[in-house]
Chains A and B, each alone.
Chain A
Amino acid sequence: MPVETWLIFILGFMILGSIIALELKDLLSAVISIGIVGLGVSLAFLFLQALDLAIVQFLFEIFALIILVRAFIGKEYHIQEPSRSHIVQSVVTIVVLLLILVMSINMFKALPSFGHPIFSTAKHYVENGGRETGAANIVTAIILDYRAYDTLGEVTVLFTAILGALTILRTKKSNGLAGGDNEAN
């Protein structure tokens, strides 16, 4: 079977998983079925032979699932109001989605065929990457040599996110400080 068939199959499975996650009443089951999406993306990367991305996606999916399950397990989050859907809302949503699909047909026609990229930069990387950077893994050669500045930005984003999380979630363990505030008041 060609790769495209597998990709369409995985995509359909992911859409099914997210719809089931929306409809489930139990939040823990919903979290587990939303895991289908992440693992499906990882599988799609495997079929496209992007092993680095598949590894990272798989690991982050496991990481997120552990955190979410840990947050939901044994808690009283399970009770949920049954969602009622209005017919008007559904009709408006479907009509808008169909409109977007119809209007984007021209754009889809203009896209290059599967596996033939628009830009020729990648060709230069594949042909000269090993010689110019000395790294056998072309993905690492790109993210840490050709696009190292981009990686610096990613590291900064991660640093800022962790700093923000620590600042917001900081517990007031220094009772002396709180006491000092009270005394000042």
Chain B
Amino acid sequence: MKQTEGMTLIVKTVTRISVWLILLYGIYIILHGHLSPGGGFAGGVIIALAFLNVMLAYGRNFIKRWVNIGFLHDLESSSAALFLAVGILGMAIGGGFLANFISHGKLFNLLSAGTIPVLNIIISVKVSMGLFVVVWTLSVFHLDKGGKEE
């Protein structure tokens, strides 16, 4: 029964192509968060959905080999600390907690708005990794409750 892990071949083939497009769309949403609708939260959820897509199509064991779940958890926790670090840097340089201390640049440019894109990227890492780790934990918990797979 090794071959039936995950879904059918059609789903796997489509996922293999579409996951990268979904990831690209998520990164676009994050990087353009200060220019167009979207931002760190929305882009983070899109990236988490891409990971979830792989997990549903290929099964749990594949994703365990593909990414290191512990590393994802570390990434999630460290991004929370990075958000605080940006805030404290704003206190040191800009004169207030979470102050916008980088130069604002020109309106409608990709590299503008000071710390806002930085915070968007940090939040997106936090949201995507956090949601995926929660789904992963829920699914593993379900597996162990059944108790027959091991």
Binding site for B on A (CB under 8 A): 51-52, 54-56, 59-60, 62-63, 66-67, 70-71, 130-131, 133-137, 139-141, 143-145, 148-149, 151-152, 155-156, 158-159, 161-162, 165-166, 169-171
Give per-residue flags for B126-145: 1 if the beta carbon is below 8 A from chain A beta carbons, else 0: 11001101110111111010
A76 to B144, CA, bound (A): 18
The verdict on A59 contacting B46 (CB below 8 Å), with A134-B112, A149-B97, A152-B83 known, is: yes
Known: A52-B38, A151-B119, A162-B133. 15 other contacts (CB 8 A): A52-B37, A55-B38, A70-B139, A71-B138, A134-B104, A136-B34, A136-B107, A137-B39, A139-B39, A140-B33, A140-B116, A141-B116, A148-B119, A152-B83, A170-B137
* Contact among B35, B39, B119, B135 with A136 in the assembled complex (CB-CB below 8 Å): B35
Asked if B80 contacts A156 (CB within 8 A), the reply is: yes
Q: Which stretch (B1-9, B11-19, B48-56) binds chain A? A: B48-56
Say yes or no for B45: interface residue by CB 8 A criterion: yes
A149 to B52, CA, bound (A): 30
Q: Is the interface of B mostly helix, strand, loop or mixed?
A: helix
Asked if A137 contacts B33 (CB within 8 A), the reply is: yes
Give per-residue flags for B21-50: 1 if the beta carbon is below 8 A from chain A beta carbons, else 0: 000000001000111111111100110110
Asked if B119 contacts A62 (CB within 8 A), the reply is: no
A155 to B97, CA, bound (A): 16
A168 to B93, CA, bound (A): 40
Can you show 27 pairs from A to B with CB atoms below 8 A apart? A56-B42, A59-B46, A63-B45, A63-B52, A66-B56, A130-B107, A133-B113, A134-B34, A134-B106, A135-B35, A135-B116, A136-B35, A137-B33, A137-B34, A137-B35, A137-B36, A140-B33, A140-B113, A141-B116, A144-B115, A145-B113, A152-B84, A159-B130, A162-B130, A166-B133, A166-B134, A166-B137
Chain A residue numbers with a CB within 8 Å of B52 are 63, 66
Say yes or no for B105: interface residue by CB 8 A criterion: yes
Q: Is the interface of A mostly helix, strand, loop or mixed?
A: helix
A66 to B134, CA, bound (A): 13
A159 to B33, CA, bound (A): 22
Q: In the complex, how many angstroms separate the beta carbon of B1 from the nearest chain A beta carbon? A: 16
Asked if A151 contacts B114 (CB within 8 A), the reply is: no
Say yes or no for B123: interface residue by CB 8 A criterion: yes
Q: In the A-B complex, list the 6 residue pairs whose CB atoms are closest, starting with the nearest.
A: A134-B104, A51-B37, A135-B113, A148-B98, A135-B34, A134-B113
Asked if B135 contacts A67 (CB within 8 A), the reply is: yes
Residue of B nearest to A134 (CB): B104
* Contact among A55, A133, A140 with B104 in the assembled complex (CB-CB below 8 Å): A133
